[in-house]
Amino acid sequence: MPKNTWVGDNLTDVKIKNRSLVLQLLKKRGPLSRIELARITGLTQPTITNIINDLLASNLVREIGPSETRTGRKPILLSVNDQAFYIIAITFTRQGFSIALTDLGPNILFRRDSRYSLLEDTDTALLELQKEFIHVLEYATQSLSLILGIGVSAPGPVDTETCTILAHSTFLLHRSLDLRKYLREYDLPIFMMSNADAACLHETWCGSAKEVQNMVYFMVGEDVGAGVLIDGKIYQGKHRKAGEVGHTSINIFGPRCVCGNYGCLELYCSTQKIVEKAREIGWFGGEPYFRSFLERGEQLTFRHIVEGAQKDNEACVQLLTQLGRYIGVGVVNLINLYDPELVVIGGEASLAREFIDRPIRQVLEERLLYREYITPQLLYSRWGEGCDASWGGITRA
């Protein structure tokens, strides 16, 4: 019999835990009544009443009216008040960084973006980070007291405890960037996760995995990584570095990766590598669609390849089919390792779902260890490129 993960505790010394439990339920399953909260959590009616009174007083929860029950006294429904507080979200990618003010929805209220290609060096990039951060604070001048903290996501590896970017292939020429040094003067708590972990967590809050306790979020974009959810919690491993599936070798005789390994999955299925192949075909193979971008001096992007495939360009379709097969290999490895309830494919590659889905499933049928007994649940993040930009699917304003 599966364990009920929503069961609470009536002991007074776990008040914080129970408040958190109620908030999670309202966020994932709400709106709910006090009676429903008591039934789901196993907490007593007086305990639920006390928790809800505290949450109403802090403005985190609001009453939204009676339920639709037809008989008897109609219970009042409760929901999380997404506009009660705000968060500053910072995301780093290979191409740049973004800083945004969001509510608890999370919906973007204000956003600033910077690209590394427009910055001269590391010091300039850090000054730009602080400048854009100040712009966001200025926008929130009337609500500074309502900002709960700063959430940071970055390509791995990161140190979540010290809020340090340990290495970044594009941003900064040195290792171990401690972000607290540049943001501490604003006296806000800072929380950091890898891009894949952040996107995985978001799927459990606002995406396809609200009721899922064991899943893998396979992020395929410029970087390749995985967020792993086990028993409802992000699995980070002993040193908080788990999920680096992009740096597992699928060809021991393949090219050397920046990590030092050979034939890493990221060398074959990142969207950046697909774009590089498209450029090669354009220059050396003379493919007209790709060559047209190069001759005009226009930057060829993964989105252009998807658009070409939608117009039945054979070269684009072939590239995306090949991408799908490599993603399929990664999915097989993840399923064999973790046996999840669900695999969600996200990041920029999910924009090509109509072209990569069939080859991915063909690989699963060919290679999955328990393919005769297991039909994996495979979904695509509806956040698309937003997840690759590591907003974890935050809705754009």
Please report the pLDDT score of residue 273 as a whole number.
93
**292-332 confidence digits (pLDDT tens):** 888 888 889 999 999 999 999 999 999 999 999 999 999 99
Q: At what angle do helices 302-310 and 314-338 cross, to 10 degrees?
A: 110
- Is 72 a residue whose pLDDT tops 90? no
Please provide the average confidence, as pLDDT, over all residues in the chain.
84
Would you state the structure tokens that stand for residue 268, as one six-digit string?
């074959």
- The beta-carbon contacts of 136-139 under 8 Å, at least 24 apart in sequence, are 136/88, 136/99, 136/100, 136/101, 136/110, 136/112, 137/88, 137/186, 139/101, 139/109, 139/110
Q: CB neighbours of 309 closer than 8 A, spacing ≥ 6?
A: 316, 317, 319, 320, 352, 355
Main-chain dihedrals φ then ψ at residue 359, nearest 5 degrees: -65, -35
Residues 75-113: tens digit of each pLDDT: 889 999 988 899 999 988 877 889 999 998 888 899 988
Cα 348 to Cα 335: distance, rounded to the nearest angstrom: 21
Give the pLDDT confidence of 196-248 residue by residue, as tens digits.
999 998 888 888 788 888 999 999 998 899 999 999 888 888 877 788 898 99
Say if residue 19's pLDDT is above 70.
Answer: yes
Query: All domains of the chain, ordered by start, with CATH?
Result: 12-80 (1.10.10.10), 86-188 (3.30.420.40), 201-388 (3.30.420.40)
**Sign, Cα dihedral of 253, 255, 256, 258:** negative
pLDDT at 386: 44
Distance of CA 190 to the CA centre of its chain: 17
Give the end-to-end CA distance of the chain in Å, rounded to a whole number. 43
Helix-helix angle 288-295:271-280, to 10 degrees: 90
Q: Is the pLDDT of residue 123 over 90?
A: no
